Chains A and B, each alone.
Chain A
Amino acid sequence: MEAKYDFERKYREQILQCSRCGFCQSVCPVYGATLRPALNARGKMLLLKEVMDGKIELGKELIDSLFQCTTCASCANNCPSGVNVPEIIKQVRKDMVNIGSCHPAFAGMNEVLQKSTNIYAEDELPDFDRKRDQKAAYVYFIGCVGAYREDEATEGALDLLDRLSVDYTLISEVCCSGVLEDVGYSLNPKLASQNLERIFATGAKTVITGCPYCYRTFTHRQEYDELRKRGITVLHISQFLKDLDFGVTTDKKVTYHDPCDLGRHCGIYEEPRATIRKIAPDFVEMQHHHADSLCCGAGGGVRGAYAKNSLAMARRRLKEAEDTGAEILLTECNSCVHNLANAKLRKQNIKIYNTTAFINELMTKKVRNK
């Protein structure tokens, strides 16, 4: 029988390899928040198997399972049968978009990024009282969430770079649009070339991203190959900071949340910890950390499309943070900060920061106390 969809052509063997052992159920954040096995990786693979067997149609009825995945990759990381679920999900979402069975929130995101320069369809890029598109050694690329939603976190990061006298510039950035690949569409090459032009114009040899997803896109996607060809290094801010000294410490207990895009997807676990250990001698890990870290629930388009479950996932993660007894929860991703902060209840005292903003706060206090 001829394969009807690309997901089958590319991943048939892998989907059939799923042995239904269910090990993914113990790590899937969507299952953890809902206890609904149809939303777990095994449930998704079973749907695709039945589509391939001709038992069900790849139609709208499958949207709530196949579009409800944060692509956090915990399942793939724990799959003894070697099934790379996030890649399969990304492909099947494209197939569903092709046949017109797409979650409206995902279609909306694509529409926005065809017309606008950012995922929020905002008209004006905030400049954070800084000049843009200057000649400099470094470009600081903020990312949509940091630019339009988590401005405090971004101000903290920029102030920190100023304190450290880093020769950087902001650019008239547009969305890296990598997220479109996760939600059934394709990266927008027009947006990519705008970013590239503006980066090249600064003469910078290094791009520092505040967003792990932008980092992932710049380093993994061919539309950004030109960066590598021109010898431009891309760093996530946590990699840039790891060798620096800040001269401040906190006596508060601190824990750290690994963003999926930085950790499981890019293998960056130790750089953030190296920095945190310098400023927070009382550092503790949560129950799930490094490659076993629990997703905050924001990724893969789930925050927009399934807000209630997305927040439930964030609440589970916050609970783990609180269980450590930490007063401060640090992370390295504006999207994680955003979702975790939204999920925080008033009675919860834990404070959530990006590491950069927290260091900046410590340095500000030190200056004030002098």
Chain B
Amino acid sequence: MDEKLKNGLIGIVGAENYSEDLIDMVSYSYDASQHSARPLCVVWPQNAEQVSRLMVFANETHVPVIPRGAGTGLSGMAVPIKGGIVLDLSHMNKILMISIEDRLVIVEPGVVYANLEKGLAAYGFFFPPDPASGKVSTLGGNVATNAGGVKGAKYGTTRDYVLALQVVLPDGRVMRTGSRAMKSVSGYDLTRLFVGSEGTLGVVTEITLKINPRPTATSTASATFGNLEDAGRAVSQIMHSGIIPSVLEILGKETILAINKNTDLNLPEVEAMLLAETDGYTKGETEYQMAKVTEVFARNNALEIKQAKSDEEAINLWKARKSAYAVLARIKTHFVLEDVTVPMGKVADLLKGIEAISRKHDIQIATFGHAGDGNLHPQILYDGYNPEDVKKMEAASADLFALAISLHGTLTGEHGIGLSKAPFMTLEHDPAAMNVMRSLKRMFDPNNILNPGKMALDDAGGPASEPGIHG
């Protein structure tokens, strides 16, 4: 470790907020993806001013800086693939303001999603985009990845709620974007440029979020299907039936089997299962909507349709759904969790295509996801210590991406590009779009110090970074 660098960092954050200990370096090498790479050191800044000074220092010394929240990302965007300084923002975890009158909150980036939920519950409000990792994920991370969640179809993703940001630019300048107003067309939308930018353009140090009143009534139902296509068709029919369920999730058979291993829910072990929730302010309202949903279930050959009788029953179903991907880790020790997303009318095609890819490469793919917004989570299960298996996984991934793009969809609905999907960026974005993105990156970060190596931004053309290290 370079003494000058170390002393410079300690001079800014203090010795107690700096570490190069092996235990920290190992833990900051990973996120929830299969990628890993060691940083040089970690700093825990306490405020925006320290972040600004850190960026000035890093920019002068040309050392990479990797902003990080809870490290629950699934595409390697917090993995320090070029080494450098991990900027763990979890100490900046204060809810600065809750203004029900203005329908907004102002938070520091390290606030955990669940803590904001708790804070808002007292007022009967909520912040709708709830990623499955919401118990741990930080709002800074949610903004950086434009996190979605199970309520996407009705309530959108993080992007739809960010009103304003305070951002530290790579050269240390502190910039404010947006306003506290509910709407604004004042200049370019810099706020949205930063949402989903994966920490490549600036470090978000303060977030102003729009919040919603929490609907007080919900109805929950599930339906089982003998094949994925019926379920897929039911999904698109529901979405044009005039009803928008607050949640519409799909679970494939492998996922159901894994959930049954982990819980005492005893889900029926069928080919596919749909879980739906409707929300509103009276039971009549939610039941009316649910009746429409179950009608569509029935029309599409549902084997069994069940309404949750109690809140507890419903809560358990959602808890099981949210643990799905981690539960699947019990089947194979390595997995890649994709989040390809297609237009609503193509959900059945995507499901069918995933099955075909699984057969073609002779590899297990468990599927679940947010059917209601066309965002599926095919989870490819493999043995990372077996080179043959790794090859199969990579080939299946590539086919999945090609399939999604051919259906007019996208590589990623909510997890982001990071390292995992960087080699596929040019599949989705034409040369002009790639060129504009790379120009933007160079304009904000001419020395390429902020989260370098991600999103295929580094190179002039072609696939940018190697798929990460597996195992």
Interface positions of A (Cβ within 8 A of B): 13, 16-23, 25-26, 35-40, 42-43, 46-47, 50, 53, 56, 61-62, 64-65, 79-82
Give the residue of B90, B136, B330 whose beta carbon is less than 8 angstroms from that of A82.
B330
Q: Does B227 contact A (CB under 8 A)?
A: no
Return B244 CB to nearest CB of chain A, in Å. Answer: 29
Q: Does B264 contact A (CB under 8 A)?
A: no
Q: Does B128 contact A (CB under 8 A)?
A: no
B290 contact set on A, CB distance < 8 A: none
Instruction: Please determine whether B333 and A13 come into contact, CB atoms closer than 8 angstroms.
Output: yes
Instruction: Please determine whether A26 and B135 come into contact, CB atoms closer than 8 angstroms.
Output: yes
Which residue, of A20, A21, A35, has the highest number of chain B Cβ atoms within 10 A? A21
Instruction: Please determine whether A21 and B27 come into contact, CB atoms closer than 8 angstroms.
Output: no
Compute how far the CA of A26 lies from the CA of B27 in the bound complex, rounded to whole angstroms. 16
* Residues of chain B from 243 to 276 with CB closer than 8 A to chain A in the complex: 262
- For the complex with contacts A13-B333, A35-B91, A82-B262, 13 further pairs of A-B residues with Cβ separation under 8 Å are A21-B72, A22-B136, A25-B70, A35-B93, A38-B27, A38-B28, A43-B26, A43-B27, A46-B30, A61-B23, A64-B23, A65-B27, A81-B329
Instruction: Please determine whether B327 and A81 come into contact, CB atoms closer than 8 angstroms.
Output: yes
Which residue, of B24, B31, B112, B333, has the highest number of chain A Cβ atoms within 10 A? B333
Return A8 CB to nearest CB of chain B, in Å. Answer: 14
Instruction: Please determine whether A22 and B72 come into contact, CB atoms closer than 8 angstroms.
Output: yes
B44 contact set on A, CB distance < 8 A: 35
* Residues of chain B from 13 to 39 with CB closer than 8 A to chain A in the complex: 21-24, 26-32
Compute how far the CA of A61 lies from the CA of B27 in the bound complex, rounded to whole angstroms. 13
B329 contact set on A, CB distance < 8 A: 17-19, 80-81
Instruction: Please determine whether B32 and A20 come into contact, CB atoms closer than 8 angstroms.
Output: yes
Instruction: Please determine whether A19 and B22 come into contact, CB atoms closer than 8 angstroms.
Output: no
B279-308: CB near A (< 8 Å → 1, else 0) gives 000000000000000000000000000000
The residue of chain B having its C-beta at the shortest distance from the C-beta of A27 within the complex is B135
Instruction: Please determine whether A81 and B326 come into contact, CB atoms closer than 8 angstroms.
Output: yes
Instruction: Please determine whether B471 and A23 come into contact, CB atoms closer than 8 angstroms.
Output: no
A81 contact set on B, CB distance < 8 A: 326-327, 329-330
Q: A22-B133, A23-B133 are contacts. A37–B28 as well, Cβ < 8 Å?
A: yes
Chain A interface, >50% SS class? helix
Interface residues on B, range: 35 or more
Instruction: Please determine whether A80 and B323 come into contact, CB atoms closer than 8 angstroms.
Output: yes
A18 contact set on B, CB distance < 8 A: 329
Compute how far the CA of A42 lies from the CA of B72 in the bound complex, rounded to whole angstroms. 11
Return A47 CB to nearest CB of chain B, in Å. Answer: 5
The total of interchain contacts (Cβ-Cβ below 8 angstroms) comes to 94
A35 contact set on B, CB distance < 8 A: 44, 90-91, 93
Compute how far the CA of A65 lies from the CA of B334 in the bound complex, rounded to whole angstroms. 24
The residue of chain A having its C-beta at the shortest distance from the C-beta of B262 within the complex is A80
Return A289 CB to nearest CB of chain B, in Å. Answer: 15
Interface positions of B (Cβ within 8 A of A): 21-24, 26-32, 44, 70-72, 88, 90-91, 93, 112, 114, 133, 135-137, 262, 323, 325-330, 333-335, 471
The residue of chain B having its C-beta at the shortest distance from the C-beta of A47 within the complex is B26
Compute how far the CA of A62 lies from the CA of B22 in the bound complex, rounded to whole angstroms. 7
Compute how far the CA of A18 lies from the CA of B114 in the bound complex, rounded to whole angstroms. 22
Return A233 CB to nearest CB of chain B, in Å. Answer: 30
B31 contact set on A, CB distance < 8 A: 20
B262 contact set on A, CB distance < 8 A: 80, 82
Instruction: Please determine whether A26 and B112 come into contact, CB atoms closer than 8 angstroms.
Output: yes
The residue of chain B having its C-beta at the shortest distance from the C-beta of A55 within the complex is B26
Return B289 CB to nearest CB of chain A, in Å. Answer: 30
Q: A23-B135, A26-B112 are contacts. A17–B333 as well, Cβ < 8 Å?
A: yes
Instruction: Please determine whether A37 and B26 come into contact, CB atoms closer than 8 angstroms.
Output: no
Compute how far the CA of A35 lies from the CA of B72 in the bound complex, rounded to whole angstroms. 15
Return B24 CB to nearest CB of chain A, in Å. Answer: 5
Instruction: Please determine whether A80 and B326 come into contact, CB atoms closer than 8 angstroms.
Output: yes
Instruction: Please determine whether A21 and B326 come into contact, CB atoms closer than 8 angstroms.
Output: yes
Which residue, of B72, B136, B335, has the highest number of chain A Cβ atoms within 10 A? B136
B29 contact set on A, CB distance < 8 A: 46
Which residue, of B32, B328, B330, B334, has the highest number of chain A Cβ atoms within 10 A? B330
Instruction: Please determine whether A38 and B23 come into contact, CB atoms closer than 8 angstroms.
Output: yes
Compute how far the CA of A25 lies from the CA of B327 in the bound complex, rounded to whole angstroms. 17
B330 contact set on A, CB distance < 8 A: 17, 81-82
Give the residue of A17, A22, A39, A61 whose beta carbon is less than 8 angstroms from that of B22.
A61
Compute how far the CA of A346 lies from the CA of B21 in the bound complex, rounded to whole angstroms. 36
A53 contact set on B, CB distance < 8 A: 471
Instruction: Please determine whether A19 and B335 come into contact, CB atoms closer than 8 angstroms.
Output: yes
Instruction: Please determine whether B24 and A36 come into contact, CB atoms closer than 8 angstroms.
Output: yes
Compute how far the CA of A25 lies from the CA of B24 in the bound complex, rounded to whole angstroms. 15
Q: What are 29 contact pairs spanning A and B, CB under 8 A?
A: A18-B329, A19-B328, A20-B30, A20-B31, A21-B32, A21-B325, A22-B71, A22-B136, A22-B137, A23-B326, A25-B70, A25-B136, A26-B136, A36-B24, A37-B24, A37-B70, A42-B27, A43-B23, A43-B26, A47-B23, A47-B27, A61-B21, A65-B23, A79-B326, A80-B323, A80-B326, A81-B330, A82-B262, A82-B330
